[in-house]
């Protein structure tokens, strides 16, 4: 507790010194981060491999490329993001200066997750630094190699007092959450999300919660099944299903269920070969606890493909379940693993109703050649984000806000939304001390004429 | 759970999609406009009974400002509702990327007692505009206005989708046990904490419009009489019961002398020699607050005013001089017609003073020297800032209105209210063809594929940044 007080206290004193406010300073820190990512690429990929059994090209693609892109964007746009924005004036303020000024919030806390352990710490950090804040970084202890690496590297490249890294598990995070922050960005599950928000409420700290849920994937009869299934397979089994926006389950007409299975099977073969276990491109479940949890979901299910597991290496083969019942265990929680249940629905109406009966998901996917149907699914449901005719990709468009709604989260970030999330938008009106005659209308004594 | 039935009724109405079409929202908003027109007299009478609100103030703050928001919303609703298409730099030109503004669902608005109509209708306008169903909880402190809202408002709005709940502290606690899709609260920081804690149980996002002590720095170079008028107006409007009222003045001893003279003249100009008889000066809204304010009068020296009348809950427009930072009146938001002056040596001391306290809803600075105004702006933090006037920044619907730190989180007014009550959903509608482009991302992964991906998607720095 005392240690946390010291760390946060030092960060606050450093923030109050004012040194992180100038654009030059922020750009310098972002440039240093860029240098770190470029110089330590090998170490970063090695840590991710140790944590998630993720191969080089895959890890580079998911974790490094995105970070470099965000850094380049932030460094490029920072002057325009940070500039005061003039707004429309009315008759009474015609001669005044009226604008919104983005300002840093102060000391912010970023709590990372284990599934994309580097990018989920770095991407928020980039926005927080760009917005001029001091940042306490708390990487997930479950991806311990990446956590340790981040703790070692950040102090080597960034201002040590302004951007401390705190490592540890539940007790350390709990202690950290008793401290006062000016914003908390948490990535993880809804249960802990509630704990974070309750802790934040004590200090009236605004929060951004990037949570999860069961992201549905509706496949219409009228669509190119081969393409749809290839895209779904890519998204579902990437990172061994441990992606917050992975298509969690499929909804489709019973008449195409077996075709869907066939297509996914064929794609799996293309991607990972005959023996998935020996493919360098297929990851592992992060730890035994999650392994056991996911294996438990298979109980009593009709396994149409896969189902092989190996506890020693936390390996679960890409698995497809068919004719899944909505009440089964696999449909109760976010799967976060390489298990894809298929549920049959007789129409898009039934699919929409099914989706709306459940908690709002982080992502929603719909595959169809029928533009009207897609429009309808989007309009009649709610979710954090949507990609139609593909998966994930909305999260990669820099100008789209990325976040959840309802149980899947609150707030958004990525690109300029990260900058806005970590800024206070201060309304400013600067008037003249002269021109008092205009004001006379509002002073008492009042009368109907004046009104 | 006494309110579970009501909430689930509204949720059922929400799921039917009734509130989504623009025509529906416009109809409800126009009905709100009719409420303000047809019930204007009743609103003026209710606020007068509840807190002696002068009809000029009531008409300006509760009717005119609300109608401004309403018209701004009706004029712009179709534009605000449209999908916002974004730059498609990392998707193909056959795709469509846009932000869809989705309603949240069933939202709760809890209004305070000081501007009981404005601070209820303001958020309500945005909540309806954004397509939500709404439970409205007016303040139980201002009984006449609460009754007016509970009896009259439902007859203007669709009862399936909008409900007014009258509730005291106990009932509100029970109300908060239900799951809402958004909660908008205006009130004190201590209750704000309770609201956010309750919201956390359901992961409900919130906007909290709270308060604090709004400092008002007056530099030595200024037109004292104009300053006195603008500060007095802001302080004594609604008998000081305004979240953005200048709470206390920071100035030099020399300026204090000048200000006291100017304020004395201004108060007489505004309210006459006996403000208790003026039709333009309000009363304190409740006995508890009256007592609280009476006790604060012992701070510093009463130079102007200081008279009270418990029967009317009247506290005279009062100015206290030579107030010390440790005095009782400097320990809480005043929310009454008392203006303490705290002498400071210079602007730097004033800024340090402001920064050593919780961030307020607004910082005010008065000076004929623009540099001074800008210094105070740049070196402090607050919800909003107004140079050389008070209150006026919130009359502009183009400026976001909200706090920071303990003065609040989130913001509203104009399109910001619409945005507050909408979920901004990132949507990408991809083309099913051109699958070969996607091939680069699929396993098996090779260094070659990676090279191509890197080349295709890397965001390159545009030239050199001149700041470096």
With 0-12 CB in 10 A as exposed, 13-18 as middle and 19+ as buried, what is A273? middle
Distance of CA B112 to the CA centre of its chain: 11
**The architecture CATH gives domain A1-211+409-429:** 3-Layer(aba) Sandwich (3.40)
**Mean pLDDT on B42-67:** 95
Q: Can you say whether the dihedral through the CA atoms of A28, A31, A35, A37 is positive or negative?
A: positive
Q: Give the tens place of pLDDT for each residue, B148-171.
A: 999 999 999 999 999 999 999 999
Using CA atoms, how far apart are residues A247 and A249, in angstroms rounded to an integer? 6
Q: Which residue has the higher pLDDT, B333 or A438?
A: B333
Task: Evaluate whether A117 touches A62 at the Cβ level (below 8 Å).
Answer: no
Superfamily of domain A216-396: Aldehyde Dehydrogenase; Chain A, domain 2 (3.40.309.10)
Residue ranges, comma separated, of all CATH 3.40.309.10 domains in chain A are 216-396
Contact B371, B348 (CB under 8 A): no
pLDDT for A447 equals: 66
Cβ atoms B385, B373 nearer than 8 A: no
Which of B111, B109, B110, B117 has its CA nearest to residue B58? Answer: B117
The arithmetic mean of pLDDT across residues B141-151, rounded, is 97
More confident residue, A123 or A1: A123
DSSP string, A266-309: HHHHHHH-S-GGG-TT----SSHHHHHHHHHHTTT-EEEE---E
Asked if pLDDT for residue B464 goes beyond 50, the answer is no
Nearest-CA neighbor of A78 among A35, A116, A26?
A26
Judged against a pLDDT cut of 90, whether residue A329 lies above it is answered with yes
pLDDT of residue B468: 28
**B411 and B400 in contact (C-beta within 8 Å)?**
yes
Chain A CB contacts of B203 below 8 Å:
190, 193-194, 197, 209, 211, 406-407, 409-410
The residues with which B183 forms a beta bridge, in sequence order, are: B108, B206
- Catalytic residue numbers of B read 209, 243
Q: Which of B382, B349, B345 is nearest to B364 (CA)?
A: B382
What pLDDT is recorded for position B467? 35
Q: Are strands A97-104 and B301-304 parallel, antiparallel or unpaired?
A: unpaired
Task: Give the pLDDT band (50/70/90) at residue A439.
Answer: confident
Task: Please answer whether residues A271 and A318 qualify as being in contact, where contact means their C-beta atoms are separated by less than 8 angstroms.
Answer: no
| Dist CA B67 CA A447 (whole Å) | 20
Given its phi and psi angles, is residue B250 left (phi above 0), alpha (psi -120 to 50 degrees) or beta?
beta
For chain B positions 41-100, those within 8 Å of chain A (CB to CB) are 54-57, 59-60, 64, 86-91, 97, 99-100
Question: What is the complex's ipTM, to 2 decimals?
Answer: 0.96
Share of chain B above pLDDT 70, in %: 97
3 state DSSP class of B408: strand
Lowest average pLDDT, out of A305-314, B32-41, B82-91, goes to: B82-91
Residues of A in contact with B269 (CB under 8 A): 443
C-alpha–C-alpha distance, residues A439 and A114, integer Å: 58
B373 at interface of A, judged by CB pairs closer than 8 A: yes
Residues from chain B contacting residue A61 (CB–CB below 8 Å): 441, 445, 450, 453
Do B223 and A434 lie within an 8 Å CB cutoff?
yes
Determine whether the interchain pair A397/B229 forms a contact, defined as Cβ–Cβ distance below 8 Å: no
Q: Predicted confidence band at B452 (pLDDT cuts at 50, 70, 90)? A: confident
CA atoms of B212 and B214, how far apart (whole Å): 6
The DSSP-derived string for B137-155 is E--SSSHHHHHHHHHHGGG
What average pLDDT does the segment A140-152 reach?
Answer: 97
CATH code for the domain defined by B215-406: 3.40.309.10
Cβ separation B467–A79 shorter than 8 A: yes
Fold that domain B3-211+410-423 belongs to in CATH: Aldehyde Dehydrogenase; Chain A, domain 1 (3.40.605)
- Evaluate if residue A438 carries a pLDDT over 80: no
Residue of chain B whose alpha carbon sits nearest to that of A199 = B197
- Whether the CB-CB separation of A205 and A422 falls below 8 Å is answered with no
Other beta carbons within 10 angstroms of residue B1's beta carbon come to 9
Q: Indicate the pLDDT class of residue B147, thresholds 50, 70 and 90.
A: very high
Percent of chain A with pLDDT over 70: 99
Give the pLDDT band of residue B22 (cuts 50, 70, 90): very high
Would you call A98 and B17 a contact, using CB atoms and an 8 Å cutoff?
no
DSSP helix/strand/coil, A70: helix
Q: Would you list the DSSP string of B218-270?
A: E-SSS-HHHHHHHHHHHHHGGGG--TTS--EEEE-HHHHHHHHHHHHHHHHHH
Neighbouring-strand partners of residue B135: B108, B163
Mean pLDDT score, A375-394: 97
Cβ contacts (< 8 Å) between A426 and chain B: which residues? Answer: 381-385, 404
Residue A336 has pLDDT above 70, yes or no: yes
3-state secondary structure A149-211: HHHHHHHHHCCCCCCCECCCCHHHHHHHHCCCCCEEEEECCHHHHHHHHHHHHHCCCCEEEEC
Q: What is the mean pLDDT of residues A229-257?
A: 97
List, in sequence order, every residue forming a beta bridge with A136; answer none if it has no partner. Answer: A109
Q: Which residue in B242, B302, B231 sits closest to B270, CA to CA?
A: B231
The model's confidence at residue B457, banded by pLDDT at 50, 70 and 90, is low
Task: Assess whether pLDDT exceeds 90 at residue A445.
Answer: no
Look up the pTM and report it: 0.96
Give mean pLDDT, residues A159-170. 97
The pLDDT of residue A57 is: 85
Distance CA A233, CA A247 (A): 9
β-strand pairing of B96-103 with B84-85:
antiparallel
- Given a cut of 70, is residue A200 above it in pLDDT? yes
- Is B294 at the interface with chain A, CB within 8 A? no
Q: How do residues B347-371 score in pLDDT, each as one tens digit?
A: 999 999 999 999 999 999 999 999 9
**Tokens 């976060």 found at:** A336
Does residue B443 sit at the A interface (CB-CB below 8 Å)? yes
- The whole-number pLDDT of residue B460 equals 52
**Percentage of chain B surpassing pLDDT 90?**
90
Contact (CB<8Å) A427/B385? yes
pLDDT score, position A337: 98
Is A400 in contact with B99 (CB distance < 8 Å)? Answer: yes
Question: Taking CA atoms, what residue in B is nearest to A34?
Answer: B461
> Is-contact A376 B20, C-beta < 8 A?
no
Q: What is the mean pLDDT of chain B?
A: 94
For A9-23, write each residue's pLDDT tens digit.
Answer: 999 999 999 999 999
List the beta bridge partners of residue A85: A100
Helices (H) and strands (E) in chain A, counts: 16, 17
Mean pLDDT within A44-57: 92
Region A376-402 average pLDDT: 96
Q: Is the pLDDT of residue B61 over 50?
A: yes
Using a 10 angstrom Cβ sphere, with 0-12 exposed, 13-18 middle and 19 or more buried, the burial of residue B387 is buried
Three-state DSSP class for A363? strand
How many Å apart are CA B181 and CA B199, to the nearest integer? Answer: 9
Helices and strands (H and E) in chain B: how many:
17, 18
Return the closest-CA partner of residue B108 out of B57, B48, B169, B181: B181
- Of the listed ranges A69-78, A215-224, B425-434, the least confidently predicted one is B425-434
**Res. B466: pLDDT tops 50:** no
Give the model's confidence band at A437: pLDDT under 50 very low, under 70 low, under 90 confident, else very high: confident
Strand A315-316 and strand B314-315: the pairing is unpaired
Q: Is the pLDDT of residue B463 over 50?
A: no
Check A68 against B226: CB less than 8 A apart: no
B162-183 burial: b if 16+ Cβ within 10 Å, else e: bbbbbbeeeebeebbebbbbbb
Determine whether B456 is exposed, middle or buried from the number of CB atoms within 10 Å of its CB (0-12, 13-18, 19+).
exposed
Per-residue pLDDT band for A58 (boundaries 50, 70, 90) equals confident
Give the strands of the sheet with B96-103, arranged side by side: A302-305, A319-322, A339-344, A249-252, A216-219, A363-367, A385-388, B422-429, B96-103, B84-85
For tokens 């299910």, the residue is A301
> What's the whole-number average pLDDT of chain A?
96
**Inter-chain contacts counted by CB atoms under 8 A, chains A and B:** 317
Element (H, E) at B370: helix B370-379
Distance, CA of A383 to CA of A409 (rounded, Å): 10
DSSP B414-463: THHHHHHTEEEEEEEE--S--HHHHGGGSSSP-HHHHHHHHHHHPPPP-S
Put simply, the answer to whether B425 touches A383 (Cβ < 8 Å) is yes
Q: Which residue of B has its CA nearest to A228?
A: B432
Closest by alpha carbon to A354, among A216, A253, A244, A260?
A216
Q: What are the domain boundaries of chain B?
A: 3-211+410-423, 215-406
Q: How far apart are CA B262 and CA B256, in angstroms?
A: 10
Mean pLDDT, to the nearest integer, of B74-96?
A: 89
Residue range A404-423: average pLDDT? 98
């Amino acid at each position: 507790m005392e240690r946390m007080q010291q760390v946060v206290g030092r960060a606050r004193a450093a923030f109050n010194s004012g040194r992180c406010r100038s654009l030059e300073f922020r750009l310098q820190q972002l440039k240093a981060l860029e240098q770190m990512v470029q110089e330590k690429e090998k170490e970063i990929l090695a840590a991710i491999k140790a944590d998630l059994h993720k191969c080089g090209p895959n890890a580079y693609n998911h974790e490094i490329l995105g970070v470099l892109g965000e850094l380049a964007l932030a460094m490029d746009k920072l002057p325009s993001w940070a500039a005061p924005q003039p707004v429309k004036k009315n008759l009474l303020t015609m001669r005044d200066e009226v604008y919104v000024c983005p300002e840093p919030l102060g000391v912010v806390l970023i709590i990372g997750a284990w599934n994309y352990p580097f990018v989920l710490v770095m991407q928020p950090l980039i926005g927080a630094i760009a917005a001029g804040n001091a940042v306490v970084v708390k990487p997930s202890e479950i991806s311990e190699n990446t956590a340790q690496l981040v703790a070692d590297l950040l102090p080597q490249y960034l201002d040590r007092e302004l951007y401390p890294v705190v490592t540890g598990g539940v007790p350390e995070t709990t202690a950290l959450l008793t401290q006062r922050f000016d914003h908390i960005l948490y990535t993880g599950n809804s249960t802990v999300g509630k704990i974070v928000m309750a802790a934040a409420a004590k200090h009236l700290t605004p929060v951004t919660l990037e949570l999860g849920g069961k992201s549905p994937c509706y496949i219409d009869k009228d669509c190119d099944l081969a393409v749809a299934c290839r895209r779904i397979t890519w998204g579902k089994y990437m990172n061994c299903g441990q992606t917050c926006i992975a298509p969690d389950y499929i909804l489709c007409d019973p008449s195409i269920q077996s075709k869907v299975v066939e297509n996914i099977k064929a794609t799996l073969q293309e991607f990972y070969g005959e023996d998935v276990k020996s493919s360098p491109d297929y990851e592992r479940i992060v730890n035994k606890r999650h392994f056991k949890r996911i294996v438990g979901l298979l109980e009593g299910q009709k396994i149409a493909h896969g189902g092989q597991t190996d506890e020693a290496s936390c390996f679960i083969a890409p698995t497809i379940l068919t004719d899944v019942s909505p009440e089964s265990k696999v449909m109760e929680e976010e799967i976060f693993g390489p298990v894809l249940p298929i549920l049959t629905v007789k129409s898009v109406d039934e699919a929409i109703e099914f989706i709306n009966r459940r908690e709002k998901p982080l992502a929603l996917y719909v595959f169809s050649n029928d533009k009207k149907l897609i429009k309808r699914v989007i309009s009649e449901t709610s979710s954090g984000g949507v990609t139609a005719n593909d998966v994930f990709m909305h999260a990669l468009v820099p100008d789209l806000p990325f976040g959840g709604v309802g149980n899947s989260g609150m707030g958004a970030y990525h690109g300029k939304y990260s900058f806005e999330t970590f800024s206070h938008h201060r309304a400013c009106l600067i008037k003249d001390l002269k021109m008092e005659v205009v004001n006379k209308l509002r002073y008492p004594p009042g009368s109907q004429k004046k009104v | 759970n006494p309110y579970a039935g009501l909430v689930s009724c509204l949720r059922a109405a929400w799921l039917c999609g009734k509130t989504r079409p623009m025509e529906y929202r416009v109809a409800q908003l126009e009905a709100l406009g009719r409420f303000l027109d047809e019930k204007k007299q009743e609103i003026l009478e209710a606020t007068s009974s509840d807190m002696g609100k002068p009809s000029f103030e009531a008409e300006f703050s509760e009717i005119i400002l609300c109608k401004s928001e309403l018209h701004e919303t009706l004029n712009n609703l179709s534009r605000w509702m449209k999908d916002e298409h974004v730059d498609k730099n990392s998707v193909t030109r056959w795709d469509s990327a846009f932000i869809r503004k989705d309603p949240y669902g069933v939202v709760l608005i809890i209004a305070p007692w000081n501007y009981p109509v404005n601070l209820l209708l303001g958020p309500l306008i945005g909540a309806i505009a954004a397509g939500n169903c709404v439970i409205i909880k007016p303040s139980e402190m201002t009984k006449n206005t609460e009754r007016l809202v509970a009896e009259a408002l439902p007859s203007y709005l669709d009862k399936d989708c909008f409900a007014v709940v009258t509730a005291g502290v106990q009932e509100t606690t029970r109300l908060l046990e239900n799951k809402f899709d958004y909660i908008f609260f205006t009130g004190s920081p201590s209750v704000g904490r309770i609201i956010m804690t309750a919201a956390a149980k359901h992961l409900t996002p919130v906007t909290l419009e709270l308060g604090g002590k709004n400092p008002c720095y007056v530099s030595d170079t200024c037109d004292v009489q104009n300053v006195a008028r603008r500060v007095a107006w802001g302080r004594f409007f609604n008998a000081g019961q305004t979240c953005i009222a200048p709470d206390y003045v920071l100035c030099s001893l020399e300026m204090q002398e000048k200000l006291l003279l100017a304020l004395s003249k201004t108060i007489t100009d505004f309210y006459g020699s006996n403000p208790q008889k003026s039709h333009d000066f309000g009363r304190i809204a409740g006995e508890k607050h009256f007592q609280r304010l009476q006790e604060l009068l012992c701070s510093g020296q009463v130079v102007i005013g200081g008279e009270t009348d418990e029967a009317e809950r009247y506290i005279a427009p009062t100015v206290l001089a030579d107030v010390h930072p440790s005095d009782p009146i400097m320990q809480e938001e005043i929310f009454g017609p008392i203006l303490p002056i705290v002498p400071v040596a210079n602007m730097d001391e004033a800024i340090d003073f402001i920064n050593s306290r919780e961030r307020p809803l607004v910082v005010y600075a008065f000076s004929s020297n623009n540099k001074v105004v800008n210094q105070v702006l740049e070196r402090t933090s607050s919800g909003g800032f107004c140079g050389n006037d008070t209150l006026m920044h919130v009359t502009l619907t183009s400026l976001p209105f909200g706090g920071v730190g303990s003065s609040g989180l989130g913001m509203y007014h104009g399109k910001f209210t619409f945005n507050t009550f909408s979920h901004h959903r990132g949507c990408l509608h991809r083309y099913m063809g051109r699958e070969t482009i996607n091939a680069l991302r699929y396993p098996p992964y090779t260094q070659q594929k990676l090279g191509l991906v890197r080349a295709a998607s890397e965001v390159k720095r545009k030239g050199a940044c001149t700041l470096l």
